[in-house]
Amino acid sequence: MDNKKDKKNLTKTTTFVCFDIETTGLNPQNEKIIEIGALKVIDGKIVGNFSELINPQVPLSKMITNLTGISDDMVKDADTEENVIKRFLDFAGDYIVMGHNIKFDYSFIKTAAKRYKINFERLGIDTLDISRKMLRDLESRSLESLCKYYQITNNHAHRAYDDAKATTLLYVNLCNQFYLDNPDVFTPKPLIYKAKKIQAITNKQKNYLIDLLKYHNIEDVQPIDTLTQSEASKWIDRIILEYGRIN
C-alpha cells in the first residue's frame, strides 16, 4: 500500500482501521459476534492487525458454520465478548474505520460496546457504498464479486481478518481508479446507528427457562441472569425446538 502511486491517490484518507466481523445472525439486538478481524493502516502502511474469536455462549447454527468455517469447537475456549470488544476498541482507538457494508459491522460493535457502557462513535468509509456509486454496471458489488473483478486473492472468505484485508486492498483499487475525479465519494462520513435499549430478562422468562433446563437436564449454559429479553426468548425457542416443551 505504500508505493508512490498509492500514496498519490490516497491523499484523502491514508490512516484508518479496516475491520470485519462474523456473527451468529443478522440482528445486532438478538445475535452475537463470533469473530473480529482488523488491519490498522497509518500513512498508507499496514502497521498492525487484530484477529480474535469470541465465545458467543450459544450454539452455532449449521448455516453459520458452513458459511464461515467457524465451529462450536473453535469458539468454546475463546474469550468473552466483553474482553474481546474492549481489546478491539483499544486497537481501533479514535481512527476512522472502514469496512464493506460497514453499517452492518458497526451496528454489532456499537451494540456490544453499549452493553459495557462504552461509547463508540466514529467516522467511517464504506467500500460497498463507493462501489455502488462508481461501479454501477457490475451485476454484484459483494466483496467476493469485487475481489474477482480486481483480481484480489482472498483464500479465506467469510473469515473476519481475511475479509478485512481484502476490503483494504479493494479500497486501494477503488482509490487508484476513481479518487482523483471523485474525491467526495471517498470522504469519511459519520456512522449512525441507534442501539436499542437492552432489556433484561423478565422474571417470567427466567422461571420458565430454569424449569426447561431442569426438565431436560441441560447444563453448561450462559448464566441466566445475564440474558436479555430477546436472548432469553431465543434460548427458550431453541430448547423447545430441540428438546420439546415441559409435559
| The pLDDT of residue 20 | 98
As given in the structure block, the three cell numbers for residue 58 are: 450459544
As given in the structure block, the three cell numbers for residue 22 are: 462474523
Structural domains of the chain sorted by starting position, each given as residue range(s) with its CATH number in brackets: 4-190 (3.30.420.10), 203-243 (no CATH)
| The pLDDT of residue 198 | 67
As given in the structure block, the three cell numbers for residue 154 are: 482472498
| The pLDDT of residue 196 | 63
As given in the structure block, the three cell numbers for residue 201 are: 430478562
d(CA 43, CA 14): 5
Q: Where are the alpha helices (DSSP H) in 124-180?
A: 127-134, 143-149, 160-178
pLDDT tens across 109-128, in order? 999 999 999 999 999 999 99
d(CA 231, CA 198): 10
Q: Shortest CA distance to 85 belongs to which of 101, 105, 103, 65?
A: 105
d(CA 166, CA 20): 10
pLDDT band, residue 6 (cuts 50/70/90): very low
pLDDT band, residue 1 (cuts 50/70/90): low
DSSP 54: B
pLDDT tens across 142-156, in order? 999 999 999 999 999
Using left for φ > 0, alpha for ψ between -120 and 50, and beta otherwise, residue 74 falls in: alpha
pLDDT tens across 58-86, in order? 999 888 999 899 999 999 999 999 999 99
Residues 134, 174: contact at Cβ < 8 Å?
yes
Angle CA(14)–CA(154)–CA(37) in degrees, nearest 5?
Answer: 60
